[in-house]
Amino acid sequence: MKRLIYAILIYFCASSAFGAAVNREMNESKESFAMRFAPAKGQLAHPVIETKEWHFGSPAVIAFFVHPYPPPQEDQSKFGSIVTGYIFVPLANGKYEKVEIDSYEPEGRNAEIESVFFSRTGGTREKKMFVLASWHPNQADLYQTRIYDRPLSNSLPAKLSQDKELGLKIDGGCVYCRKGTATAIEIKQRLRGIYVSHL
């Protein structure tokens, strides 16, 4: 009995530590593929991206979905829908690993994904993924940059690792209070101010 309980615990721990394996049909479009694995009642929040930037051998698929968001009972101010992003990492023979990128909760209004791009930082060869999100509550424009590290191909996590330190440097140590406009070009210019190396 103890061995059975131990085996069940190992199974659930392993399931929560790694992404989910999914299949892509032959000649299936990236949009159709992504939508088959969307959250319940989810819709695309940004055009689906297919990219070789992280050099997984075959292109990875990146998709962001907006879907119903049940606010916690203690915080009724966070109403609306949540945006959740996923990267589908290619394995072999049409198989992918579905890994969560992040979740973007509503802040007065639903989050919007403005831009997704890849760039080197600090002279490193490996690029990081940058996601620029925005919120527009009460006629204000709030922006946040989140930066993610490339996962190891032989040990894919359930969720990407976020470089919060670099994100704070770009956003000036502020999480949701940077007002005004922001673009991928502007973020790259800020990176050049942080690092001397070429991006």
Reported as a single tens digit per residue, the pLDDT across 116-130 is: 999 888 767 789 999
Element (H, E) at 105: none
User: pLDDT tens digits, residue range 147-195?
Assistant: 999 999 888 999 999 998 887 777 654 444 455 555 666 766 666 655 5
The pLDDT value recorded for residue 168 is 77
Tell whether the model's pLDDT for residue 20 goes beyond 50. Answer: yes
pLDDT at 7 over 70: no
Collapsing DSSP to helix, strand or coil, 168 comes out as helix
DSSP state at residue 40: T
- Domain extents in the chain: 2-194
What is the pLDDT, as a whole number, of residue 170?
A: 74
- Percent of the chain scoring above 70 in pLDDT: 70
Model pLDDT for residues 69-103, shown as the tens digit of each residue: 776 555 655 567 999 999 999 998 899 999 999 99
The strand order across the sheet containing 128-135 reads 112-119, 128-135, 142-148, 178-179
Question: Using alpha carbons only, what angle is made at residue 36 by residues 135 and 12, rounded to the nearest 5 degrees?
Answer: 90
Phi, psi values for residue 71, rounded to 5°:
-70, 145
Look at residues 45, 134, 33 and name the one whose alpha carbon lies nearest to residue 89: 33
What local confidence, expressed as pLDDT, does residue 10 receive? 36
Is there a contact between 82 and 63 (Cβ–Cβ < 8 Å)? no
**146, exposed or middle or buried, with CB in 10 Å at 0-12, 13-18, 19+?**
buried
Determine the pLDDT at residue 76: 58
